[in-house]
């Protein structure tokens, strides 16, 4: 079996070079090859939006030439290959995710409007790719709230106790193990609770916040137990917090190595892929790189030998 590569999407922008640096480090940690991909944008009205036969030669691509120069003196560089493709990046990049264990790109590349915090290509890849997608933001993004203090590297993962996703937790624990990082597990619960009553009906007794917090903590610890058993070297710290999950994760992103969030499963009445409001908000506002994990993603993934 051969290990699937880490893919870095580049377009010549500084954003994509930051993503390339992150992907290079990720490939080293995974002992995986690095695949650098540049997708040349077709004219939307004239060309198909899929990867096509006869794609441009990677040896004749100035963007990939720049990357070769950028990487040539890097120590311990993993086996690196370069791929030139043509089409709409928002369609081509998610397709490439089927041949990768990780897809990494910048928060905004060339052609992005300055006011946008996340470009359409990043949003499409995070929503549609079959592998986890990491979006690397520009440095200096400010967030509100206080991140938990503590020395050393830190990975953050969101845990929805009403619908926990094992794939997201698996990825987060694996990433923390690779980085020698502690894992901060954010389990937010709604507070204050909304009480609704029709005219003439009695409003039920108030629910004690401490009871809600204790129940959320007990559920979170139960979901984490099997992952902690598989990763005894990872210190996992559950943080049970009231309020908006997206806000808590964005605040926790300050100083974190990575924030890990899940992507919605397809539903019978909504068969299209969706990310969910919390995942989208974290992608737009987190100060750290964000990994979006599709349901059922397994990492690392291998290909049969040729």
Per-residue pLDDT reduced to its tens digit, 139-163: 888 887 776 667 789 999 999 888 8
**Residue 135 sits in the same domain as residue 56:** yes
Of the candidates 72, 106, 139, which is a domain's last residue?
139
Looking up tokens 């624990």 gives 173
**Residue 117 sits in the same domain as residue 244:** no
pLDDT tens track for 242-292: 888 999 999 999 999 999 999 865 444 444 455 578 999 999 899 999 999
Show the tokens assigned to 198: 């029709």
**Residue 75 sits in the same domain as residue 26:** yes
- CA 174, CA 261: separation in Å to the nearest integer? 14
The count of domains in the chain is: 2
Of the candidates 97, 114, 139, which is a domain's last residue?
139
For residue 151, the domain's CATH number is 3.40.50.12370
Task: Identify the CA nearest to 26 among candidates 158, 132, 139.
Answer: 132
**Residue 134 sits in the same domain as residue 191:** no
Residue 294 placed within a domain: no
- The residues near 216 (Cβ < 8 Å, ≥ 6 apart) are 161, 187, 189, 240
Domain span at residue 258 reads 143-289+299-306
**Residue 268 sits in the same domain as residue 250:** yes
Least confidently predicted of 71-80, 113-122, 253-262: 113-122
Residue 25 placed within a domain: yes
């Amino acid at each position: 079996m051969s290990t699937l590569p880490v893919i870095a999407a580049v377009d010549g922008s500084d954003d994509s070079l930051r993503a390339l640096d992150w992907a290079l480090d990720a490939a080293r940690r995974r002992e995986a090859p690095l695949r650098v991909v540049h997708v040349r944008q077709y004219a939307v009205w004239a060309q198909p939006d899929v990867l096509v036969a006869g794609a441009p030669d990677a040896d004749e691509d100035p963007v990939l030439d720049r990357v070769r120069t950028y990487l040539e003196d890097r120590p311990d560089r993993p086996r690196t290959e370069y791929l030139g493709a043509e089409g709409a990046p928002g369609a081509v990049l998610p397709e490439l995710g089927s041949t990768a264990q990780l897809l990494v790109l910048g928060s905004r590349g060339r052609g992005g409007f300055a006011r946008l915090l996340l470009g359409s290509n990043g949003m499409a890849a995070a929503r549609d790719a079959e592998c986890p997608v990491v979006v690397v933001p520009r440095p200096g993004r400010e967030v509100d709230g206080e991140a938990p203090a503590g020395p050393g590297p830190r990975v953050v993962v969101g845990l929805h106790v009403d619908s926990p996703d094992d794939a997201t937790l698996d990825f987060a624990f694996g990433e923390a193990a690779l980085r020698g990082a502690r894992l901060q597990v954010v389990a937010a619960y709604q507070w204050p609770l909304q009480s609704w009553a029709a005219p003439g009906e009695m409003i039920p007794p108030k629910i004690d916040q401490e009871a809600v917090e204790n129940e959320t903590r007990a559920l979170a610890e139960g979901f984490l137990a099997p992952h902690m058993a598989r990763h005894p070297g990872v210190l996992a710290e559950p943080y049970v917090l009231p309020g908006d999950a997206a806000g808590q994760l964005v605040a926790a992103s300050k100083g974190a190595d990575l924030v890990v969030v899940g992507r919605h499963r397809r539903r019978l009445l909504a068969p299209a892929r969706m990310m969910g409001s919390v995942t989208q908000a974290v992608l737009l506002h987190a100060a750290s790189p964000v990994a979006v994990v599709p349901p059922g993603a397994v990492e690392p993934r291998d290909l049969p030998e040729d």
